[in-house]
Amino acid sequence: MSKAEKVQHIVEILEDLYPEVPVPLDNTSPYTLLVAVLLSAQCTDERVNKVTPHLYAKADNPFDMVTLSVDEIRSIIRPCGLSPTKSKAIYNLSHILIEKYGGEVPRTLEELEELPGVGHKTASVVVSQAFGVPAFPVDTHIHRLAYRWKLSTGKNVVKTEKDLKRLFPEEIWNKLHLQIIFFGREYCPARGHDAEKCPICSLYGRAELFK
């Protein structure tokens, strides 16, 4: 089986398993999505979704957020971890959004990556999920599965993103990256992975899949 055939087969399996993929982080606007993704660094989506309602009850837009102090923000988001750094980033990026963008979240990777606390993955999630711009955010699940399925060398997330963008059609990137995340959590975990029970790994056998 060629790599192109394997790629197409993987797409078909994921589409069959996850025809609809909800955004894992609860949000009501590009701004609330941006903040949620920032909070998700080294934190589970589930925990973020428990914390953000308390934060957004006080401030779900940059204008309200800057009326809070950094310490107030920090006290609310503490369960997400790294609260000193994240609270400063949320406060400072809110100021920048007001001063530079009229309170709106910019729609380009370049502009987003200039904001405090916003790296390439966070920016990619925002443009893809908030604005529908084709992007392929690579998290730990995607990076791990791309290597496990021999779609990338796995040297780093930058290389993995480039490899996946080359292999998969641009028009499915936004949905596909979520499908892979859901699949990794449900069927293809890092630890305790049973290849015989995995809907993708079991079909090829280890020798064929890992060529």
Residue closest to 14 by CA, chosen among 143, 127, 159, 181: 181
Residue 159: active-site member: no
Active-site hit among 26, 45, 88, 139: 139
Of 187, 183, 180, nearest to 161 by C-alpha is 180
- Amino acid (1-letter code) at residue 156: N
Q: How far apart are CA 143 and CA 11, in angstroms?
A: 16
137 vs 39: CA distance, rounded Å = 16
- Token readout for 147 is 């290597």
Rg of the Cα atoms in the chain: 19
Maximum Cα interatomic distance, the chain, rounded to a whole number of Å: 59
| Set 6, 60, 86, 121: catalytic member | 121
Contact 150, 210 (CB under 8 A): yes
H runs (alpha helix) in 18-119: 30-39, 45-58, 62-65, 70-77, 83-101, 109-113
- Answer yes or no: 163 catalytic: no
Contact between residue 188 and residue 148 where contact means Cβ atoms under 8 Å apart: yes
Catalytic residues: 121, 139
